[in-house]
């Protein structure tokens, strides 16, 4: 059975499903043959979103900071 072939939305290169990067945004699937193409897409997407992307990014940064704090606390030696 032949593998399904996807097309990179950035460069147009064809590649088999299971390779490359797939992003699902709002139920729509975007396929990229490499992480370089995926990063180009994400950069341009964030530029287009502007202020909304900035607000969302700050929220994500806060979430990661909280996760790092929890992991750091778990790593500390506990003297009983």
Residues 24-45 pLDDT 10s: 999 999 999 999 999 999 999 9
With 0-12 / 13-18 / 19 or more C-beta atoms within 10 angstroms meaning exposed / middle / buried, residue 33 is: buried
Euclidean distance between CA atoms 8 and 62, whole angstroms: 32
Mean pLDDT value across residues 39-60: 92
Look up residue 37 and give its two tokens: 């193409």
Whether 41 contacts 32, CB under 8 Å: yes
Residue 75: pLDDT band (50, 70, 90) is confident
What is the value of pTM for the model shown? 0.75
Query: What pLDDT, on a 0 to 100 scale, did the predictor assign at position 51?
Result: 87
Distance between start and end Cα atoms, the chain: 61
């Amino acid at each position: 059975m032949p593998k399904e072939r996807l097309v990179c939305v950035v460069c147009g290169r064809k590649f088999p499903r299971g390779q490359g990067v797939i992003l699902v945004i709002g139920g729509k699937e975007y396929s990229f043959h490499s992480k370089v193409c995926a990063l180009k897409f994400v950069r341009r997407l964030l530029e287009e979103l502007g202020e909304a992307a900035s607000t969302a990014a700050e929220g994500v940064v806060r979430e990661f900071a909280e996760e790092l704090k929890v992991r750091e606390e778990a790593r500390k030696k506990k003297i009983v």
